[in-house]
Structures are given as structure tokens and as C-alpha cells.
Structure 1
Amino acid sequence: MSEWMTCKRYFDLTPGDTAIRLDLISKVHGIEQAEKFFNNIPKRTKTIKTYSALLNCYAQKKGVEKVDTLLKTMKALGFVNSLTYNVLLNFYYQMGQYEKLDLLMEEMKEMGIPFDIVTFRTRMSAYVAASDINGMESILKRMEDDPKIVLDWDAYSAAANGYIKAGLADKAVAMLKKSEALVTQDNWVACNFLLTMYASIGRKDDVYRIWNLLNSSSKNVTNASYLSIIISLTKLDDIEGAEKIVEEWESTCFCYDFRVPNRLIAAYCKKGLFHKAESFISKAIERGRTPYPSTWECMATGYVVDNQISKGVEMMKAALSANRTGWKPNTAILATCLEFFEKQGDVEGLEDFIRLLRLRIPLTRDVYHRLLRTHLVAGKPISDVLNKMKEDGVDADEETEEILRGSPD
């Protein structure tokens, strides 16, 4: 739509429209095309909004030099405000350069640029990430004391997260209670967060209390909320409670998303209850449900951890065969499966597995090395493997040469 408006010239784009277009171009076509677009827009639309949008594009791409250079230009033009500095604060927070945040906030103070809720929240997040409880508490107090700042549930939840990370459960509970006081019962995002936070400190009664409030106030509880309560209950080792929630979800859901029961399946596997996990999946299939690749991978992971490698391989093959895009196999579980075939000297089994794997991800040098070694152990010719390796653009390295030195060819 944005491109159509621009190309057809039916509307004169405002600086705000241009800023949105700039952000979209960067996300879809890359930063170079965004720069080209910015350089070609009329001078009258090169305002603080468009400059800030370009700065944000650079920040998202982690372009330190470009961020610094553009900031100098913006300062020279007088195009800096709270938004500009919030972009910078978040940029350096994401980069882990927490020491830069205090310098930037000092600059804001010197230039008379006011702190807003985003400024404070970003600084608090950095303190939490650095496990700096004193700093976190100092920022929270400044927020509470500032009449211009309207605190929301998220601020207190962030503080609770900091206390949980530091092992200060009592202080975390106090923050969660303050957060709750600012949450409406139909705010499922906040309720989901509270569920997982209370579970992380073992507060089962609070988990059920929040869930009951959410369940009673919402006509249609989302899959995300069901997932949150199941994650919380399995974390608390309340398998029976999680089973009841899954049953409730299955009886009411409009969209059967296997990611919801996956958490129960993973919990079954963790406790060695593989018969329950397999039974659940079988019953779902009988009802016309299709397990996701991640469902089968949950099973594979459980069996591998339990040292039932052959069963793990069977489940990983089911995962690779599942008709769902976007999933990629766990590298550690994948390596275990490949190693299983290699140790068995099972060339045919490994080749079948790799045929499925190829449909999901490009084959790596490590996969080809395993295939070469398995062929050699089984006394099979390796010329076809080398040809396929070449076709896939996988170059030989020192390890490849070492493997080949063991070849009778």
C-alpha cells in the first residue's frame, strides 16, 4: 500500500508516511535500498521523523558506525529529541554496551531533552540484564517519583524479573502484586506474563488464581494463554493440572495448535512417561490432527536424553517427514541421530535419513563427513558422495582429506 501511494502519486506523503515507508523498505529490501530511498526524497520531507526512521534502521542492523555518523548529522541539524535518544538507548542496550546508556542520558539532561517511560524502561532493562539490583531500584524510584511518568504493569513486572534473576523471591512477589494492581483481567498479555513469573518462583496458588481470573473474564481464552498456563504448571511439576488444562483447551479451541500440547508432551518425556506422550499423539491423529515437526522432535529429544537412540531416530525421521514449513531440526539431536547411523555402519539408513534432511536444510560438511566415514566403514565406494558434495558446493577441508586418506580407492 505504501509503495502504491508513492508510485501512483495519488497522495503527497507526509514526513510521517515517508518514515513508515523507509522502515518498510529496510525490512523488506535491506538497508541499502532504504538509504537510496532516503537520499531521493524531497528536502521538505527530510525532517526529524525521517532522520529518526533512518537512525532506527541502522540501529536494527547493528550498524555502529552509521549510527554514530547519522547522529552527528542530526545533532548539527537540531533533529534530536526523546525518540532519537530512545533509539540510541535501545541500540546500545541490545549491543550489551550498558555503560553507554548513562552517558546518553546525561547528554539528554544537558540538552534539556526529557526522559519518558521508554527511556526509563530501557535503562531498567539494562540494569536487569547486568544483574544490577541497586541500579534497577534507583531507576524504579525515579519513575515512581516523576509526576510525568505513568507507571504501568510492565514496569513492575520488569523489576520483578530482576529480583527473580537475583534470587530475591520475596521482593519479586511484592513487585508482581504491584503489577497485578495495574492489570485489567482481560489483558491476556499481562496475565500470561504473571503466570510464568509466579511459576518461576514456585507460587502455584498464585498461578491458579491468575488463571482463574483470566478464564472467568475472557469469553475466548487465547491459545497463547493456554500455552502460558501449561508451561507454568509443567514448570511446577503439576502434570495432572496441565493435563486438565489441555483437556479443557481441546474441548474449546477453534484452532488446534500443536504447540500448546507440545509442552505437556515434553513434560511427559522429561519424566520418562513415553507411553503417555505417544498415546496423546496417537489419539490426536485419530481425531484428524496433524502433529507438527516440533511435536515429533519433542519425542526425539526425550528418547535421546533417555538413551533410547533408535527410538529418537525414528521420531526425528517423523519430524523431518512432517508437512510443515519453517521448522529446522535441533542441531544437537540431529548430530546424535547421524552419529547413530555412523556407529552402526548403516549406509542405507543414513542415506534415507539424509534424503529427508535435505528437504529441510542445506547439507553441511559435517553431514558429508559422516556419510564418507560410514561408506568407508561399510566398504562402500565414496565417489558418488564426493560428486554430490561437489554439486552442493561443499568444499573439502583438512578433515575431508584426512578421511579420504583412509579410503582404499
Structure 2
Amino acid sequence: MVLLTRLRSALRLLPRSSATYATSAASTSNLSPAKRNQSANVYVPQDLYRRIFIVTDPTLPVVTILEQWVQDGRTLSYNELLFVIKQLRSRKRYKNALEVSYWMSEKGYSEPRSSDFSLKLDLIAKVKGIEEAESYFDSIPNYLRTTDCYSTLLNCYAQVRDVDKAKRIMLQMRHLGFAGSTLARNALLNLYYQTQNYDKVENLLLEMKEDGIKFDRFTFSTLINTYAAKSNIEGIDKLLAQLEDDPSYSGSVDWGVYAVAANCYRKLGFHDKAFNALKKSEECVDYTIWKKAFPHLITQYATIGKKEEVMRLWNIYKMDGKLLKTDYSAVISSFLKLDDIELAKIIFEEWESRNQYFRNFFMPNKMIAAYSRKGKMEEAEAIVNRTISKGGKPNEWTWSGLLLGYISHRNFPMAVRCMKEAVSICEVGRKWRPLPESLAAIFQYLKFNGDMEEAEDLIRLLSSKNVISLDVHNKLMSWIKDVESNVPAIDALGGYSHKQTGEISEPEEDRNNPDFCLSHQ
């Protein structure tokens, strides 16, 4: 209690609700409190949780683990399985989640209910595509095809940005009396925003008012994003002022709404307004959601260059003592954004010391890329070696992080090796792509040194992984063989390009994404 009091005092916050933390230590001694289903207070045995989420290779079937669990004489409940599915979905392991959903139905863990159909519908859309989702929706018995199912299908159409089908399903929902939920309207509202139909956003908001449909944090956030897309700073200012002045909105405005506003202000270059919005966001955070809000807030402060705020939040957060990988990731990323590699190193080494075994290179890759950008290859290589010694396996971002450092040091033999390693282990369809400038530098080196065989091998490897198109493949092959040509390699790459920054930054949840802070509450 002393720790809790200190943390609340340091945050200058007051609790807004009486959220329960009263479960006794005795009743949870073999369970993992952090893995609670907040809606039903469901706990999953720690051993099972570890098998599914910590030890297991994400590509392996989770159903096999569940089968073994049952064969060992242990029990599983419907709520536990539902928790597992939702946790898998929150980690974007959609295929695993869908497999568990099918398995749960086949084993008779529950009678058919609308919410189960809705959840499975969402997973099918993510794993198999919208057409399979439509077929599954049609197979749901009419008496179970409730508001949840229609809202989920509407959201599926919103995800693939199919405005016509979304409007069509909304008309059906109106006819059936299912269109009164805020959730359904928000899905359509967000679709209009994503497809830049900003006038339709405002028209739908007026329609919601007329129909007496309550606005929630998602509604307000979509409106803020719409104002930002139109560079309407005055609109954001007025909306925030209205939300503060009107007590009827108090239940609909939380830290996430202000965080979205801060992100929009930042993108438009108004860093002072972004700072003030983040302070407002902090005021809305109580202890029950502090751990979820912290990574977003600290990353946002770093993005607007507020190092002192990053330090302040980190010092407060450390008082809790229960630091997760995501917490370390957010803080390390924040100090790297602030170009303070020494502080990032201290925190990384603290995290490193707490882990005897590494499952992957996700955290080390941050420091490897940072050191490589600085040209400090000895430090980058040392982290690679330490991580491998603890069981970590380099991935494409590891090799490409090293790659840039080797290119800047003109160590092209190592750069070529890293490129080949990265492409070799990259799975077709993965987000990673090498930067055109890196490829150009390597091909320029290989051609200059007359190493045609190595160059052709690399071109074939790039083609086999769909990194380059057939057209670019042919252009590069012609360019390599034309020894008289003075055309730069970057021009020979022609149609090859990418719009992502994945070469030296491994994808993670984008904490600057306007919707991140809303979906993690």
C-alpha cells in the first residue's frame, strides 16, 4: 500500500473508480495476475500461459498444447479458452486464435452463442479474407445473427475499406433495428475517415446526434483525426474545450482522447499544444490503467523532444517494480528517439541482466541498429554475440541493422554477407524490405569489383523471396552484364521501392498511432 500511495502521489492523480485488486495472494499463488480477463476476472494457470505465450514458437499450433494439457489430466473451462483466444488476437496471432476457436467448438466447450460467432467472424476475416468471412456470416443461424455479428461484419468491411458494402450492411442493420449501437456507427465513422470522406464523417455525427446515439472516446477521436486531416487546428481546440466544459461528456473522455489530440497536434507541428494535451492525458490516468498508458505517453513525450518528461515518467514508473518487456522497449525507443544512446544502453543492459534466455532479437535489434547508425560496429557486434549466447536467433532486422553500419564503414564483404543472410531468412510476405540505397551500394560494389557471380546469386535470391519484381530482376541482370554501362545501380533498380522503414526498425505496435491508445484500455 505504501508503494501504491507513493505512485499515486507522484502521478498527482486520483482514482476514478473502485476497480478491484482485492484477489488474495493465496487464491492466485499458481496463477498469473497480469494475465487476467478484465471483463470476467478469468485467470489462466501460469504453466499453461507460459506454454502458449512465452515459451512456444508463435508459428506452432496452440491446439497441440491444449490437447496435451487435457491429456495430462488437467481441465479447461470455456472462459479460460475465450481468454486465450482474445490474448492471441491482441498479439496479432490470428491464425492461432482461429484454430483455438475451432477446437473449442469441436470439443463442445460451449453452446453456440452470438458472441462466439462474432469473434470467429472477425478472426476468419483476418486469416482467410473478407469473402470467407461473408460465407461464414451467411452460415450463422438467423436467431444467433444478432447485433454483435452484424457489427463485426460491418467492421470487417471497414478494415478492407469497402465503403459500399459497409453502407449496405448498415442499411440492413437499420431495417433490423440493430443500428442503434455506438460501436456500429463508430466503425462506419472510422471507415469514412480512413477513406478521406471527411464530409461524410461530419454528416454521420449529425445523424448520430439526431438518433440519440451516445458519443464515446472512439467517436471523439475520429472527429479529432478528421479535423487534423483537414489541418483544422481550431476545430480540435474547440472540441477539447467543449469536452472540458460540458460535464455530460465526462464519461466519454479519457486519457486516450487527449493522447490522440496530442498526436495530431504533433503531426501538424504544434508541439506546445501537443505537450499540453499530453499533460491533460496524464491527468486522466489513474493507477488501474497507468501500466497501459505509460508506454504511449513516454513515447509521445520523446517524439516532441521532451527528454525531462521521459525521465520523469520513467523514474515514476520504476517505482512499481514490475517492469515488462514492453515497458523497457518503450523507454529504450524513447531515448533513442532523443539521440541519447548512452541512457538507452544503461536501460538495455538492465533489461539484459534480468533475462537469462532470449527467445528473439526484438529488443537487441534496437541497440544494434542504433550503434550501427553511429558507426559503432564493435558495440553492435558484441550485442549480437551476447544475444546468440543466450539462445537468441538473428532475424532479418538484425542483419539489416548491421548492414548499414558496414556500408558506412565501406566494409562491403560484410555488407554483402548481411544482405544475403537477411534475404535468406526473410519469409515471403513479411514486412521487411531492404532499402533501395543499400541494395544499390552493394550492387555497385560487386560490379566495380567484377564479382558478377555473387551479384547474380543475390539477384536470384531477391527474386525468389519476391523482394524484387521480374522486371527489376531482368534490368539488374542486364545492368550487371553490361560492363561498359555507367548507369548508377540505383537507376537500374528502377521499379524497386518501399515505403516502410523496416530495414533497421523491427515492427512493433505504433504508439504514435492515433488509435493505439484507444484500443489498449
Distance 1:255 1:182 in 2: 38
Q: Quote the offset at 1:217 in angstroms.
A: 0.5
Residues 1:98 and 2:198 are matched in the alignment: yes
Distance 1:2 1:267 in 2: 41
Superposition pairs of residues 305-320 of structure 1, within 5 angstroms: 309=412, 311-320=414-423
Partner of 1:300: 403
Q: 1:304 to 1:184 in 2, by over 3 A?
A: farther
SS of the residue 2:173 aligns to: helix
Q: Which moved more, 1:282-291 or 1:187-196?
A: 282-291
What CA RMSD, in Å, does the superposition of the two structures yield over aligned residues?
A: 3.1
Relative to the length of structure 2, the TM-score reads 0.65
Q: Which moved more, 1:50-59 or 1:367-376?
A: 367-376
Q: Quote the offset at 1:54 in angstroms.
A: 1.7
Cα deviations by residue, 1:265-318 (Å, 9 ceiling, x for unpaired): 322233333343234334544565433321220121244456665543333233
Aligned with residue 154 of structure 1, among 230, 250, 256: 256
Partner of 2:74: none
SS of the residue 2:277 aligns to: helix
Aligned residues: 378
Partner of 1:353: 458
CA contact (8 A) 2:375 2:408 kept: no
Relative to the length of structure 1, the TM-score reads 0.81
Q: Quote the offset at 1:251 in angstroms.
A: 0.5
Partner of 1:329: 433
Partner of 1:384: none
Partner of 2:268: 166
Distance 1:80 1:319 in 2: 49
Kindly provide the amino acid, as one letter, of the partner of residue 319 in structure 1. Answer: A
Distance 1:5 1:253 in 2: 34
Larger radius of gyration between Structure 1 and Structure 2: 1
Kindly provide the amino acid, as one letter, of the partner of residue 159 in structure 2. Answer: Q
Q: Quote the offset at 1:85 in angstroms.
A: 0.7
CA contact (8 A) 2:227 2:233 kept: yes
Q: 1:352 to 1:226 in 2, by over 3 A?
A: same
Distance 1:310 1:8 in 2: 56
SS of the residue 2:317 aligns to: helix
Kindly provide the amino acid, as one letter, of the partner of residue 211 in structure 1. Answer: W
Aligned with residue 78 of structure 1, among 143, 162, 177: 177
Partner of 2:231: 131
Cα deviations by residue, 1:363-396 (Å, 9 ceiling, x for unpaired): 5221233124324549xxxxxxxxxxxxxxxxxx
Partner of 1:23: 122
Q: Quote the offset at 1:65 in angstroms.
A: 1.6
Partner of 1:245: 347
Distance 2:142 2:151 in 1: 15
Aligned with residue 188 of structure 2, among 66, 70, 88: 88
Q: Quote the offset at 1:102 in angstroms.
A: 0.5
Distance 1:323 1:66 in 2: 35
Aligned with residue 364 of structure 2, among 238, 244, 261: 261
Q: Quote the offset at 1:87 in angstroms.
A: 0.8
CA contact (8 A) 1:152 1:182 kept: yes
Structure 2 unaligned runs (5+)? 1-99, 485-494, 496-521
Cα deviations by residue, 1:154-173 (Å, 9 ceiling, x for unpaired): 12212222222233333322
CA contact (8 A) 2:447 2:480 kept: yes
Q: 1:172 to 1:341 in 2, by over 3 A?
A: same
Aligned with residue 218 of structure 1, among 321, 327, 346: 321
Q: 1:231 to 1:6 in 2, by over 3 A?
A: closer
Partner of 1:56: 155
CA contact (8 A) 1:74 1:80 kept: yes
Distance 2:137 2:264 in 1: 40
Q: 1:359 to 1:68 in 2, by over 3 A?
A: same
Structure 1 unaligned runs (5+)? 379-398, 400-409
Q: 1:358 to 1:254 in 2, by over 3 A?
A: farther
Distance 1:323 1:56 in 2: 31
Q: 1:302 to 1:98 in 2, by over 3 A?
A: farther
